[in-house]
Every structure is written in structure tokens, then in C-alpha cells.
Amino acid sequence: MSEQQIKITLAQLNPTVGDVTGNAAKARAARERAKADGADLVVLPELFIAGYPPEDLVLKPAFQSACRAEIEQLARETADGGPAMLIGTPWVEDDKLYNACALLDGGRIAALRFKANLPNYGVFDEKRLFARGPAPGPVTVRGVRIGVPICEDIWLEESEDYENVVECLAETGAEILVVPNGSPYARDKADLRLSIAVARVTESGLPLAYLNEVGGQDELIFDGGSFVLNADLSVAAQLPAFEENITTLVWRKTVDGWRCSGPVAPQLEGDKADYAACVLGLRDYVRKNGFPGVLLGISGGIDSALCAAIAVDALGADKVRGVMLPFRYTAQVSLDDAAKLAAALGIRYEVLPIADAVNGFEKILAPVFAGLERDITEENLQARARGTLLMAISNKTGAMVVTTGNKSEMSVGYATLYGDMNGGFNPIKDIYKTEVFRLSSLRNSWKPDGALGPSGEVIPVNIITRPPTAELRENQTDQDSLPPYEVLDAILERLVEREEPLADIIAAGFDRDVVTRIDRLLNIAEYKRRQAAPGVKVTRKNFGRDRRYPITNRFRDFGKALPAPDEKLVTRGSRASADAFEG
């Protein structure tokens, strides 16, 4: 390092949870790249050696030991005189487990920093896994004092148990803030991250490098999008989203402190970002779990069409198999559209009529159902026959079944257990039906960088414009059972994402009967959602990690105005405080 310069490499990489050796190999390769660039320091994301989030795996002593052994080996390798490495790892010290960053330099572990603020909301559950670290000071690399707040350490909130890590680092002499993160994707999350970083730079007067993980881990997508802010709040560098990237940045010391400049990659926003998240999520779920490919039912409808396009973009046409499973209610237009979709995407495609299976089930059940009217039970036999056949092909070939229900259907239970809900993963589980239409139209005019599918129109326009139908009975449409999707999704967004009281939704202009009915369907479908396949998280509140409601639950909001709290009923000293012990 020259007197007025330091080179820092940001390694925005995609780890795999539990693949300690593989993650160490990625870190080693990133360091070699940084060394070739003449870097002084290479930085990797939060808990990189373990993969993030490790969940309860991190409590396993054998796993903790494996992570430490790899960190120690990486530390030995820094004796070669190359760049120092700052890498996230679980770390046990004094019988406590920490979310740590280790500075490896000169053949040893030169410093350790422990995460002080542990998130415990939404998808995060760190307080039950890790001990809280002490207020940290900066680490020194080539004479430069670098502050290392870890992810939540910069997401400052007004709270008694929240350590102002950035303030502490500034007061103890930090010159540059380097923030390793495991920050999962949600719609418009990039703007929120930037605003948080701006606030910390404004408070501390220090430049900040925000390094984020990239890749899919079960339902979570990490979108990368790492960036650097100079102390004057100018964007010094921006890494691309949804892809691995290693960038070395040159920092120079000026009279006003350290500054850097680098490439600024354009960022995906809105529907484009959501689509890219779905592609990355499916790709990593399939590849990291070792499936040779995927298959899905192609119905001629828009949900399966969008999922097929996502699958081809994620894996390539040679890894995707489409199966049309028609019955007597399947319209010829559905058969035609399904065939056109498969041809446009270039996937293997076959038609397997299910009449023999459905008629066989009905014949077996005839004595049991004697004297009973035909109803939804017979409709669901079609869906369950399809689900059984898809799972049989999966068993035989090893390919994973992609299930294709959207968030609107998952919300109100408009799906059949052990039928169309069968499958290993759902790329559109967190995408409402109105968004399915938008993403389908979008895909016909655009695809993300790195997508493996063909360009141009891949989803026949008729699939997008045709009224949605499950085709389980004659002339059926979704709107026979549900309000228009524009209305349904607007109500669901208020119920699910915002947790609004029914009275507020009704006051906003929605019909009382429709709102109460949708709320009832949302509540009684919880048992179905517990049995649904995992799927990509896109919204701020997905079903599963974000929204965990009891299945057995008798509370109902009947849409009445909420009573105001009556503070007169609260006895002085009843709250848990010193007042409670006054004589």
C-alpha cells in the first residue's frame, strides 16, 4: 500500500449453507483474484464460511468446529504476503457462540469482531442462536483503521438494547466502514438499504462499503447489489444485482478523508427485480440440492406458463420437462396454447390424458359415495390424479416437480392438497395473480442477464389475455369462486402485508361482505399453506418465514371499529417496572 492509498476487493459471492469446504474454496479463489489486482484486503459476506442463514445447523458442535478449521487454514495461507481477508464465520469463545468476522492476515487470525445487534424479526431469528457481541473498535489493515459493523449493526433503531455500533467505531478512530451483510431480497429493499447507509454515513462522517451476499437459500434470495458511499454521500461504486461479482476498488486519502471511485452497475427494479429473484431462487434451489432438472404440469394457463419460462431461464430448456394432463373439461385452446408454449421455450413436452385414472378413482369410490351428490370432491380427483402422475415421473427420473400456485391462490386456499400443490419448490409462491400477468407480459419483451431461455415472445399472448380457469368443470372460470383478481389482490395485500383491521379496509371502499369472506378464507387456509412447497420470497411478508399464524385459531376480526384503549383500567404499578415494588 502506498502512503495515501488502499485497495479493497469486494467479493459478492454465492455460498452454500453447510458446504464449508466449498465456501472456503470460493474465498480462496476470491483472494487469488484480489492478489492479482494488487489488493490489500478482500472482504466476504456475513457468515460466509457457513453460508447464510445457517439456522439451527450453527448450533451443531461438529459444524462449528468445521467452520473454525477452515478459517484457521485460510489464516495460515495469508502468510504468503498477499491481501488480508475479512470473512464471516460462526465463532465460539468462552462457551458463547457469536456471529463473527475474522480478519486473517500475516498467517494468523489478526482480529475478531462480533455482531452486536442481533435481528429477531421477519425472517431473522438470531437472538436464539448467537450471543450478543461487545461494542467493537476498528481493525487495522496496512495502517488503515477499518470499522466492521456486521449487517444489523448499521440498521439503527431507537431501543435500549440496541448498540450504536457505528457511533462507537467513529469515536474509536475508524476511517472507513466495511459492512458484511446477509440481507435478503424483498421488493424495493435496495432503496431501504441505501437510506440506512446514508443515515450512518451522515451520522459518522465516514465512507461506507456495503457488501451483500448473492444467491438463493431455500425461500430466501440474496440479491447482492453491493455499493460504496463516499463521506459526501456520493455513490462511489455499485455492483450488479443477482449475480456474483468480484471488484477491487482503489481508495485514496484526501484532506477530507478516504474516497474511492469505481464502476456503477445499473440496478434492476420493480417487476424486473422480482422476476430475476424468481429465476435465481429456482436455479439455486435445484442446483444446490442436486436435482438433475425439473418437470411441471403445463395446463395452458398463465401460472404454469410463467413457471415454465422461469424454469427455462434458470436451468436451460434441456433441464425442463412439461407435461400436459388433460381431462374431458380441458379445452382445445388449452391444449393448443400449452403446445405453443412448450415449442417457444424449446422444452421436452408430452400429453398424458388422465381419464383412465380419474374414472378409475370414481369407480373405486362409487360404493362409498352412493347416494351423495357430485361436488368439489370429484373435481379434486382430477387435480390429485395429476399430482400423482407428476410425482411418479419425478420418482422415476429424479427431476423435481415445480408447483405453480400463485400467492392469491395460496392466500385463500384455491388449490388442492396432494394435487396441484404437489411439488418441491414454487418460484411464484409469493407473487399475486395480478403480478403473474405483469411478469408474463414483461418476460415476452425482456429477460434478465444470464437467463438461459430464448429471447422474445415465449408465453403465447392468448394465455395472458384468456380468463383464468382451473378447468375442473364445464365452462369454469376463477371468477366463479373469487372476486376479480384486481379486487382480491388489493384486499389480500392489506390483510397479509399490512395486517390492516377489516374496518380500515372496508372504510377504504371495499365491500364489507367481500372483505369478510376473503379474511375468512385466508384464516381457514392456514393448514394448506403449512403443507405447501417452499417458494421464493419476493414481498415484505411471505407465507412461512415472515407470517407464522397458528392453524388452530378462533380469533376473527368482524370488521367492527376497534375500541380505543382505556388507560383508566390500568392500575398504576401494574407494568413490570420499579413502580410495581413501591409500598
Decide: 330 and 386 in contact? Cβ < 8 Å. no
On the CB side of 117, how many CA atoms lie within 13 Å of its CA?
21
Q: Residues of 187-199 as b/e, b for ≥16 C-beta within 10 angstroms?
A: bebbeebbebbee
Backbone angles phi, psi at 41, to 5 degrees: -150, 135
Strands 84-93 and 41-43: parallel
* Residues found in the chain: 583
Q: What is the DSSP code (8-state) at residue 173?
A: T
Amino acid letter, residue 54: P
- The answer to whether residues 406 and 433 touch, using CB atoms and an 8 Å cutoff, is yes
Where are any strands of DSSP class E within 165-244? 176-181, 208-212, 214-217, 220-223, 227-229, 235-238
Active site residues: 46, 115, 151
d(CA 168, CA 147): 9
**Beta carbons within 8 Å of 371's beta carbon, 6+ residues apart:** none
Helix, strand, or coil (residue 519): helix
DSSP state of 494: I
**How many Cβ atoms are within 10 Å of 539's Cβ, its own excluded?**
20
Alpha carbon distance 147, 435 (integer Å): 41
In this structure, the dihedral spanned by the alpha carbons of residues 448, 286, 295 and 439, taken in order and rounded to 10 degrees, is -30
Q: Nearest Cα to 330, choosing from 401, 382, 374? A: 382
Pairing of strands 400-401, 294-297: parallel
Q: Are 284 and 392 in contact (CB under 8 A)?
A: no
| Amino acid at position 478, single letter | D
Decide if 223 contacts 233 (C-beta within 8 A).
no
Q: Which residues in 495-506 are b (16+ Cβ under 10 Å) and which e?
A: bbeeebbbbebb
What's the distance, CA 540 to chain centroid? 10
- 181, containing H or E segment: strand 176-181
In the numeric block, the cell 408474463 is attached to 440
How many CA atoms are closer than 13 Å to the CA of 153, on its beta-carbon side?
31
